[in-house]
Amino acid sequence: MPYSGLITLEQFIVDQQSLYKDAGGSLSKIFRSLELAAKMVNRDVRKAGLVDILGNQGSTNVQGEEQKKLDVIANDIFIQALSRSGEVSVVLSEENDDAYFVPGAENEKYVVAIDPLDGSSNIDVNASIGTIFSIYRRPNPQRDASTEDCLQKGKHQVAAGYFIYGSSTMLVYTTGVGVNGFTLDDNIQEFCLSHPNIEIPEDGKIYSVNEGNLASFPEPYQQYLAYCKEKDKATFRPYSARYIGSLIADFHRNLLKGGVFLYPPTQSAPKGKLRLMYECNPMAFLVEQAGGAAHTGEERILQVAPSELHQRVPVIMGSKNMVQKVLEFVEQSSLTTANL
Ligand code: P6P
């Protein structure tokens, strides 16, 4: 196939550098390390059925979740790659109880929060999984790195994105100047621009939630889900329920087609299940940059002031008008309660 104007990730980043003030190419070096790690994880994910790396590692992570072997492999690969970038001082990973301080990099400028392999419960059944990353500058690089560097509001992210290991392997990311998608061309092992300027439709006909938890959702969420099922041609209802149980796969579909993703509070998880620093904040940055919205039900996700490395928040995110509709139910309920 002739060189048909392919734009590789490398070329795109260089072109964009002036837009996001990547002084000295530091952020570009981090992206190159993320790209290399993703290609290695992609290689392992693609052969998972052939080599004995399926199944459980036999350990559990800080979340109390059973670690799959690929979880641990992906975690090691990304932490090694980020450490070698020469730009990262601290890595906060879903798989590690504490932040990882890169030896000899105490005064480097960047922090990376990462979910090395999200959706890992889907590994053994060949459903799409992925890596989510979120990048911050350290407020005071002249000081030695500390855990505090990781606890920044999502609105301070300088970049965020995900790699999805699905029917094709893609990178979707933002540096605050829109959202762009790149597809890995296996023949040349390059991520090539395939989805420029992604914008999420303002409305959608898809809702994504684990309805197995319906009985323990707060009333307003139960009312909204009933609303989704009502027949009303004018608002394209009933909507379609689509939920894979892999955040990246559910998010990616809704980003491209429109829809709303919900992980409400439940009795067993009063703050929801998804983690703020390496799941909710990066996805919130992406969806807002694509013209959508992301909310906890009480505040904009990017405004949440973190207090713990692995803290969880409820999530309502996706098409702007659909998120707004959920909030109408939530706010109506709090108004009613307030007037009691
Ligand atoms: P549930 C995967 O473990 C994950 O963190 C997300 O990828 C996914 O959206 C969510 O959990 C699924 O949780 O409770 O519906 O199985």
CA of 273 to the centre of ligand 1 (A): 7
Amino acid at 124: D
Instruction: Give the containing element (helix H, strand E) for 210.
Output: none
Pocket of ligand 1 (CB under 6 A): 118-119, 121, 210, 245-247, 273
What is the 95 CA–ligand 1 centroid distance (Å)?
Answer: 15
For range 228-246, the mean pLDDT: 97
Residue of 262, 282, 133, 286 lying closest to 199 (CA atoms): 286
- pLDDT digits 0-9 by tens, 193-205: 999 999 999 999 9
pLDDT of residue 241: 98
Average pLDDT of the chain to the nearest whole number: 92
Characterize the bridge pairing of strands 206-208 and 240-241: parallel
- DSSP code of 148? G
Asked if 131 and 118 touch (Cβ cutoff 8 Å), the reply is yes
pLDDT band at 54 (very low <50, low <70, confident <90, very high): low
- The ligand 1 atom nearest the CA atom of 269: 14
Mean pLDDT of 186-215: 97
pLDDT digits (tens, 9 = 90+) for 106-130: 899 999 999 999 988 888 888 999 9
Give residue 198's pLDDT.
98
DSSP letter string over 256-287?
A: HH--EEEE---SS-TT-SSBIIIIIHHHHHHH
| pLDDT for the residue numbered 333 | 73
Q: What is the CA radius of gyration of the chain?
A: 20
Query: What's the pLDDT score for residue 5?
Result: 76
pLDDT at 22 (0 to 100): 63
* Interatomic CA distance for residues 74 and 4, integer angstroms: 33
Mean pLDDT across 13-28? 78
CA of 247 to the centre of ligand 1 (A): 6
Q: What is the pLDDT of residues 250-272, one digit of tens each?
A: 999 999 999 999 999 999 999 99
**Which residue has its alpha carbon closest to ligand 1 atom 4?**
119
Mutate to test the pocket of ligand 1, among 273, 274, 315 (most ligand atoms within 8 A of CB): 273
* Residues in a beta bridge with 190: 185
Cβ count near 203 (within 10 Å): 15
C-alpha 246 to ligand 1 mean position (Å) = 6
Q: If you take atom 2 of ligand 1, which residue's CA is the nearest one? A: 119
Cα 267 to Cα 21, 163, 264: the distances in Å are 44, 32, 10
| pLDDT score recorded for residue 286 | 98
> What domains are defined for the chain?
3-195 (3.30.540.10), 206-335 (3.40.190.80)
At 43 the pLDDT is: 93
Q: Name the amino acid, one letter, at 340.
A: L
Q: Quick one: pLDDT at residue 168?
A: 96
pTM of the complete model:
0.94
Residue nearest to atom 1 of ligand 1 (CA): 245
